Amino acid sequence: MSDPVVMMKQEVGKAAAARVKSDSIVGLGTGSTTAYAIQYIGERLQSGDLKNIIGVTTSFQAEVLARKYNIPLSTLDVVDRIDIAIDGADEVDPQKNLIKGGGAAHTQEKIVDSLAEQFIVVVDGGKLVDKLGSTFLLPVEVIPKAVVPVMRKLEQLGGKPDLRMGVKKAGPVVTDQGNLVVDVKFDSIDDPATLEKTINNIPGVLENGLFVGVTDVVLVGEIIDNKPVVREI
């Protein structure tokens, strides 16, 4: 029998892919849930249900997947708009503000997602929180030479910073831009909009994973009676 978590991610990915219309430019997010949306967009193209799509990717991972499923790609240098973007998240608050960056891709994700006319977030119910920072650390992408002073500044802001280390790789995680990621524990993020700007003002910080006021729709996958169900918030 299929893993219910996988089934739920497939359903929510499919529900997001179903919202993509022909003749549109689509932001393709990063992560295990969005991967299914990319797959289903590819399948809709293949079947002829969807026509004339151009994808703009948010990471190396998304680019590899889009090529695998034969989605034509372009870049922000060329396209003049993003009609719809689909992306995952690590936390979602009741105002639909997000923490992203679990895959260290939040910098490119924020560029593409915030340009989109419609930004759809795909998550499982466990990602919904009352307050951002409750369960997930806040990722901050930092230029390598600035890691130590940036970590000091993050401590002065009340955070507990930790350099993200690689898995099956000695040393730290290196982003698609060649930078490092500092994950920060904040006891409570009361004002995400201010914290987003304050952190981005630290010299050496490229971007942090707070996405404030960007999301239009959240599709939440849940398992009810052993079956995957998708609801919209």
Of the candidate residues 96, 106, 110, 153, the single one contacting ligand 5RP (CB under 6 A) = 106
For ligand 5RP (CB under 6 A), the number of binding residues is 18
Q: Tell whether 90 is in a known binding site.
A: yes
User: Is 84 in contact with 112 (CB distance < 8 Å)?
Assistant: no
* Whole-number Å distance between alpha carbons of 161 and 99: 16
Composition of the chain by helix, strand, coil, percent to 5: 30, 30, 40
Of the candidate residues 37, 44, 82, 87, the single one contacting ligand 5RP (CB under 6 A) = 87
Cβ proximity to ligand 5RP: between 44 and 106 the closer is 106
117 is catalytic: no
Cβ proximity to ligand 5RP: between 45 and 219 the closer is 219
CB 13, min distance to ligand 5RP, A: 9
Q: Which residues, 6 or more positions from 187, have their beta carbon under 8 angstroms from its beta carbon?
A: 133, 158
Of the candidate residues 31, 133, 161, 192, the single one contacting ligand 5RP (CB under 6 A) = 31
Q: Which of 206, 199, 202, 232 shows the shortest CA–CA distance to 218? A: 232
- Piece of the chain touching ligand 5RP by CB under 6 A; list 28-36, 159-167, 199-207, 215-223: 28-36
Cβ proximity to ligand 5RP: between 123 and 147 the closer is 123
Sign of the C-alpha dihedral, residues 82, 111, 196, 92?
positive
Q: Which of 109, 141, 196, 207 is the catalytic position?
A: 109
101 binds ligand 5RP (CB under 6 A): yes
Both tokens of 23, joined, read: 């003749």
- Piece of the chain touching ligand 5RP by CB under 6 A; list 32-40, 112-120, 152-160, 175-183: 32-40
Q: Cβ–Cβ contacts within 10 Å for residue 8, how many?
A: 23
User: Is 218 in contact with 100 (CB distance < 8 Å)?
Assistant: no
C-alpha 146, offset from chain centre: 24
Q: CA separation (Å) from 96 to 30, 33, 44, 61, 197?
A: 18, 17, 28, 25, 18
Of the candidate residues 27, 42, 55, 103, the single one contacting ligand 5RP (CB under 6 A) = 103
Indicate which residues carry an active-site annotation. 109
Residues contributing to the site for ligand 5RP (CB under 6 A): 29-34, 87-90, 100-106, 109
Q: Indicate the annotated binding residues for substrate.
A: 30-33, 87-90, 100-103, 127
